[in-house]
Chains A and B, each alone.
Chain A
Amino acid sequence: MKKINLKYGFVLIATALIMTSCGGDKGQNSSTTETSTTNELATESETSEFGVGPIQHQVSFDGIDADLAANGEQVFTQKCMACHKMDKRHVGPALVGVLDRRNPSWVMNMILNPDKMVQQDPTAKALLAEYLSPMANQNLTEEQARAVLEYFRKYDADNQ
């Protein structure tokens, strides 16, 4: 952990370096692949509007499911609340209106795959540069992450 997080520390100083050393899955295995890894990572524009992660389709919404939102609030309280408040900046950004600012699929990937997102997705990288603490992977299931989104929707609806 020390190594990885030291790398996050270096991101502030030398983004290019961290891209080299924190490359893809195989990047650390052999010095001979570093060049190509760097090139691959440098092409940020290739990441989709959904971000990097398991959700590569458009998450769509119907009417707000109150049960699902309640479930999501429970998950949020246990796994997310230590770093996120809804209404103000804490360790991470305030989450009110997040689904207006970001594609819901992108938010899902940020929850499910934060390690790769802060390395490869341009928006997530910018957020890391601003907030400094990398988003923790709390190992939510896709169902749990979807429930958290429903809680965000309900929160926004209740607080308009």
Chain B
Amino acid sequence: MKTILYSIAAVVMMAVVAGCGNDNGKKGAITSSGAADEVYVAPGEHDEFYEFFSGGFSGQVSVVGLPSGRLFRRIPVFSVDAEKGWGFDEETKPMLNTTHGFIPWDDAHHPKLSQTNGEIDGKWLFINGNNTPRIAKIDLTTFETAEIIEIPNSAGNHSSPYLTMNTEYVVAGTRFSVPIPQKDVSIKTYKENFQGMISFISVAPEDGDMELAFQILMPGYDYDLASSGKGPSHGWTFFTTYNTEKGATMKEATASQNDKDFIAAINWKKAEEYIKEGKFEEWTSPYCNNEMDESTHMAKSTVKNKVKVLNVTNCPGLVYFLPTPKSPHGVDVDPTGKYIVGCGKLSADLTVHSFDKMMEAIKNKDYETTVDGVPVLKYESVVTGVVKSGGLGPLHTEFDGDGNAYTSFFISSEVVKWKIGTWEVVDRIPSYYSIGHLSIPGGGSMKPWRKYLVSMNKITKDRYLPTGPELAHSAQLYDITGDKMRLLLDFPTDGEPHYAQGCAAELIKPNSKKFFKLEENKHPYAVKSEAEARVERKGNEVHVYMSSIRSHFAPDNIEGIRVGDKVYWHVTNLEQDWDTPHGFAMMGAQNSETLIMPGVTKTLLWEPKVPGVFPFYCTDFCSALHQEMQGYVRVSPSGSNTELKWWLGED
């Protein structure tokens, strides 16, 4: 979000907030009893939709049910999570490895569910890391992050992951152009030295394995958001740009000079042809690809080196620019694949381009000009509609599959509903306050579920009990089944959600894994039965092969550890039932607890600093005798010869 918006918003918000304050307490909702019925999910019953919210600066994903707005799980992705041991235990640390080293945080923006034939298939969820460019894949059988791929030759990975209609690719783009490849130059040489890069990461249909397929070297603009074609426009991906002025400082002014920036239309099928013809340069650009192995329960980080790079200046037919007014932010292709909606965030109007007209203009070489080696199609030749919204600061558009579009307006703080084809505004409803993204389950696919719309609002102000200067970001649920939108519910969110995407619960619920089979556990330090529990010393490394089951660890007494040892607690949860995790915490461990799912082995490193006897215990209330699930480890001074021994149930 550009700071200029905040400046404008500051003024407009005063009016908006003041105006809303007079709403007689209900603040826009339909009568509270009617709305309550519509969002009430009775105890023990399930929500109709899963909705996956990005955590923004929390770096995580939260799983929420609609219509209730209840939070079910926070999936750790790009940020360490002490609650689950993510990034603290030895198995998950490699997931956060990058060529910059271990990075414990990122800014997660746009969750996108995998699709088959343009419909959400419920297999995987992808999400971008904005800061140190990465894309993560979450397995929706386990709700755990299964893979993270770093994007080389990139910066500010915002226009990502915006996948294609069969999940052939997830994409990545540079919101921040940089010298590519990186080099030490004056920032004042932006125009000569800075470039953008668009990356296509392939996704294997059977196991979702991500590979960096190719990259396209682009002019040095800011590639803000993206949307992939579908149906007739399948094979194309569209990226908004701003800063076609190529400013490097005071961008809120310098990047807002041009009346029009571009939507870049990328013909990725053409790119595939160029790759096949060998028209790429092979660059050496190291990047990390981290994968969680579900049989060993361990992540592995691999450094890969080679990327195939296409240069837009010598690949005709690969990229076209569609002039689009006023620093467009969101670009969204409608469910029919025929229309490309651009939201010029400094404009009041929306610009709708026609895919058919675009193809005709390309055929006729209907170019306004060519910039940085890319043909600019004539605005009049591609535009098919302008939505005179009456709002301010349009950002994003979602569709209901029945010919209606819904656009969020940050500055005027509202959702505006309009008709595809006639471009007329048919309804509008306030958001409280300053909506960013909005989401209809199935949004971005060819088959949205027309029932609910969720707004994700940047400002909360007076909506909830105050919690000091920092307030939860708010989400609002609207009913969109009728002609008029109706506000049903407010609920707080975790972090700062940017996009959220959802789908019918039935696509995911039946496949949810209940436990991991012990027989299939290939962890090298696993114990498959309590009989295998033991302690082994290798120099100053001590490996504890430990088991846990309700309600004891084996072994639970250990002696012979010395100050200076590195003690690896390899804990296998022997339970084989749903909802039976055990936790493990060691006094003085300088990491976190770890949480061990049934059938899984997790490893916590502990480096004792002083002699004594220290307790460890189970952190996840597991049974009536959970409080008894504890043990002791004796630490002797460095160099002492206390015999290494261990036991369970001996006096």
Residues of chain A contacted by B579 (CB below 8 angstroms): 1, 4
Known: A136-B577, A138-B575. A29 touches B624 (CB 8 A): no
7 closest A-B pairs by beta carbon, nearest first, are: A29-B44, A137-B577, A82-B530, A82-B549, A9-B624, A28-B44, A1-B579
Most A C-beta atoms less than 10 A away, residue of B43, B45, B549, B581: B549
**What interface size band does chain B fall in?**
20 to 34
- Interface: B531 (CB within 8 A): yes
Say which one of B204-212, B452-460, B550-558, B605-613 lies at the interface with A: B550-558
Say which one of B1-9, B98-106, B424-432, B615-623 lies at the interface with A: B615-623
Residues of chain B contacted by A82 (CB below 8 angstroms): 529-530, 547, 549, 552, 554, 574
Known: A28-B43, A82-B554, A91-B551. A138 touches B577 (CB 8 A): yes
A134-B622 Cα distance, complex, nearest whole Å = 11
- Interface: B518 (CB within 8 A): yes
- Interface: A12 (CB within 8 A): yes
Contacts of A104-160 to chain B: CB distance below 8 A? 132-134, 136-139
* CB <8 Å contact, B44 and A1: no
* CB <8 Å contact, B44 and A136: no
A–B complex contacts, Cβ < 8 Å, 27 sampled: A1-B581, A5-B621, A5-B624, A5-B626, A9-B624, A12-B624, A29-B44, A30-B43, A31-B43, A78-B574, A79-B529, A79-B576, A81-B530, A81-B531, A82-B529, A82-B530, A82-B547, A82-B549, A82-B552, A83-B550, A91-B551, A132-B625, A136-B549, A136-B550, A136-B577, A137-B576, A139-B577
A38-B630 Cα distance, complex, nearest whole Å = 36
Chain A 2-20 near chain B by CB (<8 Å), digits 1 or 0: 1011101101100000000
* CB <8 Å contact, B624 and A77: no
Most A C-beta atoms less than 10 A away, residue of B43, B551, B624: B624
A90-B549 Cα distance, complex, nearest whole Å = 13
Least CB distance from B628 to A in Å reads 9
Residues of chain A contacted by B528 (CB below 8 angstroms): 78
* CB <8 Å contact, A8 and B623: yes
* CB <8 Å contact, A77 and B529: yes
- Interface: B649 (CB within 8 A): yes
- Interface: B515 (CB within 8 A): yes
A144-B278 Cα distance, complex, nearest whole Å = 57
Chain A, Cβ-Cβ closest to B623? A5
* CB <8 Å contact, A134 and B623: yes
Chain A, Cβ-Cβ closest to B514? A139
Contacts of A47-84 to chain B: CB distance below 8 A? 77-79, 81-83
Residues of chain B contacted by A136 (CB below 8 angstroms): 549-550, 575-577, 580
Chain B, Cβ-Cβ closest to A114? B577
Most A C-beta atoms less than 10 A away, residue of B44, B45, B531, B554: B44
A79-B183 Cα distance, complex, nearest whole Å = 58
A75-B552 Cα distance, complex, nearest whole Å = 20
Residues of chain A contacted by B518 (CB below 8 angstroms): 78-79
- Interface: B42 (CB within 8 A): yes
Interface residue from A29, A91, A132 paired with B552 (Cβ < 8 Å):
A91
* CB <8 Å contact, A1 and B625: no
Least CB distance from B233 to A in Å reads 46
Residues of chain A contacted by B574 (CB below 8 angstroms): 78-79, 82
Interface residue from B43, B44, B552, B622 paired with A5 (Cβ < 8 Å):
B622
Interface residue from A79, A90, A137 paired with B649 (Cβ < 8 Å):
A90
A91-B648 Cα distance, complex, nearest whole Å = 12
Residues of chain B contacted by A12 (CB below 8 angstroms): 624
Residues of chain B contacted by A139 (CB below 8 angstroms): 515, 576-577
Residues of chain A contacted by B580 (CB below 8 angstroms): 1, 136
Most B C-beta atoms less than 10 A away, residue of A1, A5, A77, A78: A1
A10-B638 Cα distance, complex, nearest whole Å = 46
Least CB distance from A158 to B in Å reads 19
Least CB distance from A75 to B in Å reads 10
Least CB distance from B629 to A in Å reads 10
* CB <8 Å contact, A133 and B530: no
* CB <8 Å contact, B549 and A83: yes
* CB <8 Å contact, A29 and B515: no
Least CB distance from A29 to B in Å reads 4
Least CB distance from A49 to B in Å reads 26
Residues of chain B contacted by A91 (CB below 8 angstroms): 550-552
Residues of chain A contacted by B576 (CB below 8 angstroms): 79, 136-139
Interface residue from A4, A6, A11, A78 paired with B529 (Cβ < 8 Å):
A78
Contacts of B540-582 to chain A: CB distance below 8 A? 547, 549-552, 554, 574-577, 579-581
Residues of chain B contacted by A4 (CB below 8 angstroms): 579
A30-B44 Cα distance, complex, nearest whole Å = 8
Interface residue from A30, A78, A134 paired with B624 (Cβ < 8 Å):
A134
Chain B, Cβ-Cβ closest to A2? B621
A6-B625 Cα distance, complex, nearest whole Å = 10
Residues of chain A contacted by B529 (CB below 8 angstroms): 77-79, 81-82
A136-B582 Cα distance, complex, nearest whole Å = 13
* CB <8 Å contact, B624 and A8: yes
A2-B623 Cα distance, complex, nearest whole Å = 8
